[in-house]
């Protein structure tokens, strides 16, 4: 009887230990699965999509991860749905978009021009100037300085009627490098798209504000 009882006790202990180990193993696996699922969800989410896409129909992405876009208002197609180009289309070109939406994206582009992304490499007092603001530097220019030069560049090309392809001329690049060797001019594509749309949106927003502030304004045509 003692032997049987001991054997029975031993079997019960073994069964209990096995059940405990199995439960622990399952819990660990569940924890790992949750971590994997969480990682997958994070990877699928990626960077948050800009709200401008609400007004465009997005197609499948190409091998470089870029999707084409179709305007939901005028059906104009963009082979590459760049955010600035889509914002600029609504703010400056789309004739079917609601006026409140046009004003909204004109303001978005105006804010971009007035408040460029600050450089993370240099921190100083507001309004503080540096010696390399006036002379060449060994390293890259602060982003704020690059933005100011880019704006001056697009104004020159548009206001003087210069072809955008000139910006890629080796002679023009040599001229810019002589003025500041640390400045890398934009490509023709960036100049004629992103920089142009930003500046055009800024100008349109300013014009709209000027018109809104006017009293007894009459608009006519010259005969």
Residue 54 in this model has a pLDDT that exceeds 90: yes
Q: Rounded to whole angstroms, how far apart are CA atoms 40 and 56?
A: 27
pLDDT tops 60 at residue 220: yes
How confident is the model at residue 111, as a pLDDT? 86
18-42 pLDDT, tens digit per residue, is: 454 555 545 555 554 544 444 444 4
Residue 146 has pLDDT above 50, yes or no: yes
Rounded distance between C-alpha atoms, residue 86 and residue 21, angstroms: 58
The per-residue pLDDT for 212 is: 83
CB 200 within 8 A of CB 88: yes
Give the residue among 174, 196, 193, 194 at the shortest CA–CA distance from 185. 174
Q: What pLDDT was estimated at residue 136?
A: 56
Judged by average pLDDT, the poorest of 47-51, 56-60, 124-128, 189-193 is 124-128
Q: Which of 137, 88, 146 is nearest to 116 (CA)?
A: 146
Decide if 186 contacts 167 (C-beta within 8 A). Answer: yes
In this predicted structure, what is the pLDDT of residue 135? 53
Phi, psi of 128 (to 5 degrees): -70, 135
84, 193 contact by CB (below 8 A): yes
Alpha helices for the chain (secondary structure H): 2-45, 83-88, 99-114, 143-159, 170-179, 188-190, 196-212
Look at residues 85, 155, 202 and name the one whose alpha carbon lies nearest to residue 93.
85
Give the pLDDT of residue 199.
92
What average pLDDT does the chain have? 76
Closest by CA to 194, choosing from 88, 94, 106, is 88
Q: Give me the pLDDT at residue 114, please.
A: 77
Q: Is the pLDDT of residue 46 over 50?
A: yes
Range name among 144-153, 156-165, 172-181, 209-218 with the lowest pLDDT average: 209-218
Cα–Cα nearest to 153, from 192, 118, 115: 192
- What confidence tens digit (pLDDT) does each residue in 166-215 have? 999 999 999 999 988 899 999 999 999 999 999 999 999 888 888 888 88
Q: Is pLDDT larger for residue 12 or for residue 189?
A: 189
**pTM greater than the 0.75 cutoff:** no
83-134 pLDDT, tens per residue?
888 999 998 999 999 989 998 998 888 888 777 655 444 444 445 555 455 5
């Amino acid at each position: 009887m003692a032997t049987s009882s001991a054997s029975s006790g031993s079997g019960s202990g073994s069964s209990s230990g096995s059940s405990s180990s199995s439960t622990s193993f399952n819990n660990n696996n569940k924890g790992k699965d949750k971590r994997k699922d969480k990682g997958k969800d994070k990877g699928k989410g990626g960077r948050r999509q800009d709200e401008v896409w609400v007004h465009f129909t997005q197609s499948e992405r190409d091998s470089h991860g870029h999707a084409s876009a179709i305007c939901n208002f005028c059906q104009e197609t963009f082979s590459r749905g760049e955010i600035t180009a889509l914002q600029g289309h609504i703010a400056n070109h789309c004739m079917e978009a609601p006026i409140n939406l046009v004003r909204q994206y004109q303001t978005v582009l105006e804010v971009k021009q007035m408040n460029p992304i600050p450089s993370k490499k240099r921190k100083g007092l507001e309004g503080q100037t540096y010696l390399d603001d006036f002379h060449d530097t060994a390293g890259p220019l602060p982003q704020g300085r690059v933005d100011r030069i880019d704006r001056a560049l697009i104004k020159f090309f548009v206001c003087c009627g210069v072809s955008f392809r000139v910006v890629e001329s080796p002679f023009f690049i040599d001229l810019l490098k002589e003025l500041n060797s640390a400045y890398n001019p934009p490509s023709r594509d960036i100049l004629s798209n992103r920089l142009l749309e930003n500046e055009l949106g800024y100008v349109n927003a300013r014009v709209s504000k000027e018109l809104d502030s006017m009293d007894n304004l009459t608009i006519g045509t010259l005969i």
